[in-house]
Structures are given as C-alpha cells and as structure tokens.
Amino acid sequence: MIAPTPMSPSPRTGNIDARQLSDRILAAAPNGGAASATDRIIAGDPATVITGIATTAMASVDALRAAAAKRCNLVVSYDPAFWSDGDTFDHLEGNRLFALKRDFVRAHNLVILDLHDHWQSGIDTGMAQTLGWERYRTLPGQPAYALPRTTLLALARSLRASLNDRTLRVVGDPALPVARVAASWGNARQLPTIALLNSPADVVVCGYSHEWEAVEYAQDMIATGAKKGLILLGEAKSVDGGMRYCADWLRTVVREVPVEHIPATEPYWNPQHMPKGVA
C-alpha cells in the first residue's frame, strides 16, 4: 500500500483553483517533490476555480465529456491527453482534432493535470486491489505475485472477467501451469520487460508492448523451449484500477470538492466480442 504524505486536508469550502490543487496533489503523491517534465497542468487555465475532480486513465474526449457532465472540471489523467509522450504540442498546430479537443476544454471550463511519474506506484497498488492480488505480493512495493497455481488460459480468463477486458491477448501455451506473476502495468518497455521474462516469473502481465520487442522476445523464448507466458491487457485496462485508487487517495488529500473516477473506455473490439448494441 502507498503511504501518502501526511497532511490535514481543508474542509469543503470551495473557491480553490486548479493551480493550488495541482501543487497539493503533486506534493502529496507517493514520490512528491521528484522532478518530472510530464506531471503538470497541460490544458486549461490554472486559475480556474475547481468544482470537482475526475480521475481517469486517459483524458479522452469521452472522459472529458463524462467529467463535464459530473461538474468535475479538474481532470487528473495518467496518460497524455494529446497523443504524445509528455503532451508536446509543437507538431499539432493546425490539427483539427487538437483544436476541437482544446476548444472543448475551454468551453467547459476544464483543466487537465497529467499525473504519471508521481503515480506509478499508485497504479500498482490500485491494480493489485482491483484483482485481489495484494495478499499474494512477494516483495513489498514490487509488482510480483505468487498466485494459487492455475493455467495460462485460466489466468487470462480471470483477468478478462475482473477487468471486463474483451480484447486482451496472450502469448504462450494455454495449458502452461502458472503461479509466479510479474506485472508491468501500462507500457511494457523493451529492456525491463525482457528482464521480467528472464526472471523466475511464469507469466508477465502488461498493458502493451511493441510486437517486435517484448512480444517477439517471448515468442522466441517459447520457441526455444522456455515455459513462459505473456498477457497484454491493453493500456487503459492495465491502469484503470490504479486511477480508481487515485480517486480514493485524493479524497484523503482534497476535501474542498468531490472526487469521482471516470472508467476508461476500451478502444478495441473484435468479431467475437462486439460492442454493446451491435448485432
């Protein structure tokens, strides 16, 4: 579990602006005070008076609409809102979708705070809570778990059901016995994920990876005799529980305004698991 920075939140009095709240959130976060070029207000007026906070995995248009409907005008997003690492805007001048999204933020008096680097351990805590894995953790503060023995297929089915994840993907033998699980929530970067695949873990669970990096490495391990599995949940599904936990944590830090969680919208579908309402 994360131990948030001890502090005494103010009573719910209103009239607090986005800059004040973002400074408080970043200072109280698990590694508050750490340097980060990512974690900052990236859209909206920092002087905006905040009426509510919404946490979400990605500040998509759907998430922004849901936040506006709930009168939550500070949107705390784990991933970038404008489709680039660190939310850099240089390449977006003249982009129609960028203009539409920016104008929506302005029209609804929204402010977007990116909270990524300061909240990575929070993602792990929240995902472990969502999956019921906290009691199986093998190392304090590390995403490594010793689950009851099962198979790769059964584990994948359990994850699909727990996360309502209709498009997760699996590499490995469905009958592979698994118990030791290592997680890399979100982006499974090449070298750390290869290190996890070479650890004692039977299966690595992650958000996504370049297919020519960790996925191909896992394929080649299996083809040469290694007993390994790799499960890709998709980015949003692999961090959404962490942002739900972020809302719970924020309620201990911010008392002036209500805090809501906006569930991530899964962007994918496949022919076997069609979106609701599609015949």
Residues of the chain with pLDDT under 70: 1-14, 32-34, 274-275, 278-279
The single-letter code of the amino acid at 75 is V
* 107-159 pLDDT per residue, tens: 999 999 999 999 999 999 999 999 999 999 998 889 999 999 999 999 999 99
Would you state the pLDDT for residue 279? 63
Residue spans per domain, the chain: 18-118+239-261, 121-237
| Count helices and strands in the chain by DSSP H and E runs | 8, 10
18-118+239-261 and 121-237 have identical folds:
yes
The single-letter code of the amino acid at 180 is R
Would you state the pLDDT for residue 210? 87
Q: Is 125 helix (H, G, I), strand (E, B) or coil?
A: helix
Q: Is 250 helix (H, G, I), strand (E, B) or coil?
A: helix
Would you state the pLDDT for residue 8? 39
* 77-88 pLDDT per residue, tens: 999 999 988 787
pTM of the complete model: 0.90
Please state which architecture CATH assigns to domain 121-237: 3-Layer(aba) Sandwich (3.40)
**Tokens standing for residue 7:** 């502090």
Is CATH 3.40.1390.30 correct for 18-118+239-261? yes
> Which residue in 114, 76, 55 sits closest to 245, CA to CA?
55
Would you state the pLDDT for residue 1? 41
Q: Which residues contact 245 (CB under 8 A, 6 or more apart)?
A: 122, 125, 126, 129, 130
* In the block, residue with structure tokens 């472990």: 128
